[in-house]
Chain A
């Protein structure tokens, strides 16, 4: 099966270990959420996968071929990063033209259509774009590039709510029409939780969770209500964490729900963002 396989990747910056013996697989035609706090190692991992920086040890395989300095493997990957690596004086329309040269499946017409939707002036030079439009420009390229593996590092940085909504709709539309592997690295977990199929949580350079979103959220539940009631209910249970507000308390529990729930307690599904906070807080 085609996939990107990351094997025993470790990367240190001086005394700081940014990525610590990471093993992970990104299968084709799936949308992944790569979640982690600031400095968790998400961008470092993406930069290693795309040959922008080198790992101290380990290897990245793209459809079975080693990705390091391998043009053929690298042509299957596109990374939209926070930093812009296109020449500052180049016009957006020229970036489209050159991307088509390097990625023959790049759809210039579709990119132009998306630029109209986002009201991006393609005659503008990259350096004159605002933070939001710079993200939009890179998103358009990423959505039009048509490679098997697309990595989006903080894709909605600086985007207003309308454009964020438009992006998620376009991503789903694109994925349903022409499925490929999208890996979204973001802090805005609540927004992506409805889009992603699999979740990869990275903490201090290590993968702490790697499973389907549905399976992860079905492993537990949230119980809310009067603090005293909640406290007595959660005693002896596997607790991820708790939130308190006044006399009310919410507890995030790993385990299956019992059928006879005490009166006055409200049971709901685990929330991905809450789960993420609890998993990465300690």
Chain B
């Protein structure tokens, strides 16, 4: 199998965009810390009143990986088939790429957060430096020791990144396989249904009970209701596995567009 070469090529494909992303993120963070050292501003946060708040870059990285996933198929597919690589090797290479990049970016984001916390401490400012994990599991994280907090924060980022990347990859594969009418139907129909039609129907027919159920289910699956991050880890893992499974089903029959 040609998985190693497929992996090497696909990793290279992301190298430049990731470098640019982190140059921007690190520059913005430095500028922000510089701003903190020069100006103070009292703001209200969930943890009370503080001078400033920095909630990490986790959401930005998840969004970045989702968009990377969206842009990861068509060109690579053509390149791999041109070079005698099977769909199976392309897919397995992609799975390793998703795992590698999510891991590396989770590490980099947590290092950035540690640096930010240290600098904020050095500047002696009342700056809230929170990871994504701390923002979501505020109650739980307050009583945790820093090593465990760092570990769980890293795992939370890692699983969210894998989830976002696999979701982006699935969406791009779906659109690749759909014909023109299907693309219009899914591209416009799905958002219109969930944003406009579904809330109206739910309100008229069920007095918004379905929306309430989804909200509660979301709280449970994300572990926020019970403040159990491991539920969120399992949820993200299961969804990522399902996304990859569907992606493979879509890819195994994909053909080049002539």
Contact = CB atoms under 8 A, between A and B. Distances in A.
Do A and B pair up? The answer is yes
A74 B86 contact: yes
Given A47-B256, A53-B256, A102 B85 contact: yes
Contacts of A74: 84-86
Given A43-B258, A78-B84, A87-B79, A54 B253 contact: yes
A101 interface: yes
A47 B82 CA distance: 10
B182 interface: no
A16 B48 CA distance: 70
Interface stretch (B2-10, B20-28, B184-192): B2-10
A183 to B, nearest CB: 16
A85 B84 contact: no
A50 B75 CA distance: 17
A204 interface: no
A52 interface: yes
A43 B81 CA distance: 15
Interface in A71-91: 71, 74-79, 81, 83, 85-88
B78 A86 contact: yes
B83 A102 contact: yes
A218 interface: no
Interface residues of B, number: 22
Contacts of B256: 47, 52-53, 83, 85
Interface in A129-173: 147
Interface string A244-269: 00000000000000000000000000
A98 B83 contact: yes
Contacts of A53: 255-256, 258
B79 A71 contact: no
A69 interface: yes
A9 to B, nearest CB: 15
A87 B88 CA distance: 20
A95 to B, nearest CB: 9
B77 to A, nearest CB: 9
A103 B80 CA distance: 12
Interface of B: 1-2, 5, 8-9, 13, 75, 78-79, 81-89, 253, 255-256, 258
Given A50-B84, A53-B258, 19 more contacts: A47-B258, A50-B81, A52-B255, A52-B256, A70-B86, A71-B2, A71-B86, A74-B86, A76-B84, A78-B84, A79-B82, A81-B82, A85-B78, A85-B81, A87-B13, A87-B79, A101-B5, A101-B9, A102-B83
Interface of A: 43, 47, 50-54, 69-71, 74-79, 81, 83, 85-88, 98-99, 101-103, 147
